[in-house]
Amino acid sequence: ISFADGSFTSLIELIIKHKDEKFLLALSEPHKPELPETLAKLKLPVDPVILARTVAADLDDMHLENYGLLALYSPSDIKALVEKFGTENLPPVAVFGEGTLRAAVDAGITVLANAPTPEAPSMAKAVDIYLRKVEAGEEIEPVSVVTDTRKEEFIRNQQNKLAKKSRVRRPGTSEPRK
């Protein structure tokens, strides 16, 4: 068992470092296809397995006005919330993960706290920061989706590195050095 630092990039680097090993990729359903697709692009030996499935709960007795903050962890949470309650008159919303943030913003939900970020690596920290701002009377700006082009660039660089390492030199194809 190996551990990355929690970022997508560090996980990919760790897998590439041990590319001769075979990996079991534990996923939930639904899951973001980004990781399995990236590993497939890099032609790394990974067997994906679904270990958990998200199941919708009965929300009929849920009264959102009784809550001061909704913490949502997956795009399926966003989908269920919007299907049941719409996007109007929601309590403040905090989300975890880039996919969840994107789903919330795309659905028209105003997000006031999110994690992981450098300032808030956990949902608990994001909520703590949000509550401190509320208590201080600070205006809280909605969170927006920022596209990180570094991730795509990183994947392309890793593909190039792996392609270079897998090239086989054939005897007699290069001239001896003088």
For 23-82, write each residue's pLDDT tens digit. Answer: 888 888 878 788 888 888 888 888 999 998 877 778 888 899 999 999 999 888 999 999
What is the Cα–Cα distance from 119 to 126, expressed in whole angstroms? 8
pLDDT over threshold 70, residue 121:
yes
pLDDT over threshold 70, residue 167:
no
SS3 113: strand
The CA-atom distances, in angstroms, between 172 and each of 169, 175, 176 are: 9, 7, 9
pLDDT band of residue 165 (cuts 50, 70, 90) is low
Note the pLDDT of residue 123.
94
What is the Cα–Cα distance from 61 to 43, expressed in whole angstroms? 48
Q: Is the omega angle on the peptide bond into residue 91 within 30 degrees of 0, that is, cis? A: no
Q: What angle do CA 52, 31, 161 make, to 5 degrees?
A: 120
Note the pLDDT of residue 124.
95
pLDDT over threshold 60, residue 175:
no
Q: How high is the mean pLDDT of the chain?
A: 84
What average pLDDT does range 120-130 have in this prediction? 94
Note the pLDDT of residue 1.
61
Note the pLDDT of residue 78.
94
pLDDT over threshold 60, residue 137:
yes
pLDDT over threshold 70, residue 5:
no
pLDDT over threshold 60, residue 90:
yes
Where, residue-wise, is CATH 3.40.50.10090 in the chain?
57-151
φ, ψ at 12 (rounded to 5°): -60, -45
For the beta carbon of residue 172, count every other beta carbon within 10 angstroms.
7
> Any idea which residue has 């999110």 for tokens?
114
CATH class of 57-151: alpha beta
CB 14 within 8 A of CB 40: no
pTM: 0.63
